[in-house]
Structure 1
Amino acid sequence: MLVAACQIPASVDAPDPAILAAAVREAAGRGARLVVLPELAACGYVFRDAAEARAAAEPTTGPTVTLLRELSAELGCVLVAGFAELGDDGQVHNSVALTDGGGLVAVYRKVHLWGSEPDLFRAGDARPAVVDTSAGRIGLLICYDLEFPEWARLAAEAGAEILAVPVNWPLLPRPAGVPALETVKAQAAAGTYRVHVVVADRCGSERGVDWVGGSLVCGADGYLLAGPATAPGSVAGPAVLVADLDPVAARDKAVGPRNHAVHDRRPELY
């Protein structure tokens, strides 16, 4: 099954859902059945304050999720994308929506908030969403969530075959020529819990912030099938990465003839 990670720009100052739609159409045109887009994919990320984040937030019946539903119905694929959610409780959340065949299947709210996000969003209070779709059983995480091994483990234990992870990885100082640590952690999560990982990062400079551009597709053995989209030291640009993976392969947690990623755990000692 072909999956795609779409690396696109987004801007609080000039939100443009047409960019999102064009990337989805390109991915679907190349045969992708699962398409993952970045965190806060349409509205942008670098909000000045809570009022600005609230102004960009919308309910699940709003234009962003409606667009995702329409595209998934038209193109026959599963879409995963981040959006600023205005919840029924009146709180603003950093959320991700999964649509399949025109229906909204799941919404997950980011639990582990990064940097100034606690000033802008209310953290989620539920475990990673893991749902059955036409593209396999998919677990949803957002950006910083993936850096907590327990969170990836919970999704894998719930039967996720693919972790779909919208991210906005800010470009931070690192030694020259080495991959971003975030991409290494994505591979580690895949290999440790024997689950496919699809990460969609973003590109473009927004209010002085640049991005890793680390979109990737990683197999359940921890090895890259596509990406990272941006080489170390290069400037992140738009990209649509496509790779072939077998969701069923993630059900096999064996690591060689004598070891097992789940059965070998010793939780009574942890």
Structure 2
Amino acid sequence: MTPHTVVACCQLAPRVGDVAHNREISLQAIHNAARQGAQVIVLPELMQSGYVFTDHAHALNLAETATGATVSAWCEAARALDIVIVAGFCERLDSTRVSNSAALIDVNGVQAIYRKAHLWDQEKHIFTPGNEPPPVVQTRFGLIGMMICFDLEFPEWVRLPALAGAELLCAPVNWPASPRPVSERPCEVVRVQANAAVNRMFIAACDRTGTERNVDWVGGSVIVDADGYPLAGPLETPSNGPAMILATLDLKQARHKRISALNHVHADRRTDLYDSARRA
């Protein structure tokens, strides 16, 4: 494992339905980030297809398998550049089902596919939810876990890769913009920081930009350290075009879960009380 890991979030503007365009801009972003030293590159949720589908049939028509043209192109880039890529795509499961998925790819190809377990709003009418926990993959740059967007809203789900040893959690996201008080950070960014802090785990959340069928986005890509403080971002440039954030992480910090001489963020959990509360 390398002593420090350089991580990039590439905040891009995929076009729903234009798979060839989305593949091309993702590859351009990957090569640009690698030229700037990135070893782990995170792309947005549903980068391959775009997000705002008209219906299930529309998504099914755009979907690709994990051996399709887009993931294969990402595999080729990872192999050529000796990097790790975590990116979202609309995955065809069979002739009738699609999943909101993400692939973790390294020099040897696809190492894991994660299928979003917690579906947001209209996603429930389109995607088959995943039923497997977030994978944690040993890469030469560190132990990397992944999940997708709304999954981050469920602290018990984020806890799973942390307990499995993830040092860095990569999250492709599409955060729709919503009103918030002046000067307040987006709640999505706050939750990323909180999840990182309570698990002492680095998190890289890569949002998107570009209005899509009247939907705007937070554009809040952020990379946070194991104490929950931003190392890069949040960008919050939804209307200013594509952008990238880059940060150098000392992932060994995520292996140390003590926050005082007598406190450990995982060992101090009172699971006996939580279990009895569920039984009550």
Give the structure 2 partner of residue 196 of structure 1.
202
CA distance in 2, matches of 1:90, 1:126: 20
- Aligned-pair identity in percent equals 48
Q: In the TM superposition, what is the alpha-carbon distance from 1:13 to its structure 2 partner?
A: 3.7
Count of residue pairs brought into register by the alignment:
268
Give the structure 2 partner of residue 14 of structure 1.
18
CA distance in 2, matches of 1:106, 1:88: 18
CA distance in 2, matches of 1:162, 1:11: 29
**Measured at CA, do residues 48 and 90 of structure 1 come closer, stay the same or move farther in structure 2, by a change above 3 Å?**
closer
Answering whether residue 255 of structure 2 is matched by residue 251 of structure 1, we say: yes
Contact 1:212–1:236, Cα closer than 8 Å, also in 2: no
Instruction: Tell me which of 141, 149, 158 is aligned to 1:135.
Output: 141
Give the structure 2 partner of residue 212 of structure 1.
218
Answering whether residue 270 of structure 2 is matched by residue 266 of structure 1, we say: yes
Answering whether residue 89 of structure 2 is matched by residue 83 of structure 1, we say: yes
Q: Which amino acid is 1:48 matched to?
A: T
Give the structure 1 partner of residue 36 of structure 2.
30
CA distance in 1, matches of 2:183, 2:227: 24
CA distance in 1, matches of 2:141, 2:241: 27
Aligned CA RMSD, in angstroms, stands at: 1.3
Q: Which amino acid is 1:248 matched to?
A: K
Q: TM-score, length-normalised on structure 1?
A: 0.96
Q: Provide runs of 4+ in structure 1 moved above 6 Å.
A: none
Q: In the TM superposition, what is the alpha-carbon distance from 1:18 to its structure 2 partner?
A: 1.0
Give the structure 2 partner of residue 242 of structure 1.
246
Answering whether residue 177 of structure 2 is matched by residue 171 of structure 1, we say: yes
1:143-162 equivalent positions in 2, closer than 5 A: 143-162=149-168
Give the structure 1 partner of residue 189 of structure 2.
183
Structure 1, unmatched stretches of 5+, are none
Contact 1:70–1:102, Cα closer than 8 Å, also in 2: no
Give the structure 2 partner of residue 62 of structure 1.
68
Q: Which amino acid is 1:156 matched to?
A: A
CA distance in 2, matches of 1:83, 1:181: 25
CA distance in 1, matches of 2:32, 2:75: 17
Q: In the TM superposition, what is the alpha-carbon distance from 1:91 to its structure 2 partner?
A: 1.9
Q: In the TM superposition, what is the alpha-carbon distance from 1:12 to its structure 2 partner?
A: 1.2
SS at match of 1:116: helix
**Measured at CA, do residues 259 and 178 of structure 1 come closer, stay the same or move farther in structure 2, by a change above 3 Å?**
same
Q: In the TM superposition, what is the alpha-carbon distance from 1:188 to its structure 2 partner?
A: 0.2
Give the structure 2 partner of residue 4 of structure 1.
8
SS at match of 1:209: coil
Instruction: Tell me which of 113, 116, 127 is aligned to 1:110.
Output: 116
Contact 1:213–1:237, Cα closer than 8 Å, also in 2: no
CA distance in 2, matches of 1:60, 1:8: 21
Q: Which amino acid is 1:263 matched to?
A: A
Give the structure 2 partner of residue 226 of structure 1.
232
Q: Which amino acid is 1:266 matched to?
A: R
Residues 118-153 of structure 1: per-residue CA shift (max 9 Å, x gap): 111000011111111122111111000011000110
CA distance in 2, matches of 1:236, 1:215: 13
Give the structure 1 partner of residue 101 of structure 2.
95
CA distance in 1, matches of 2:108, 2:213: 34
Q: Which amino acid is 1:57 matched to?
A: A
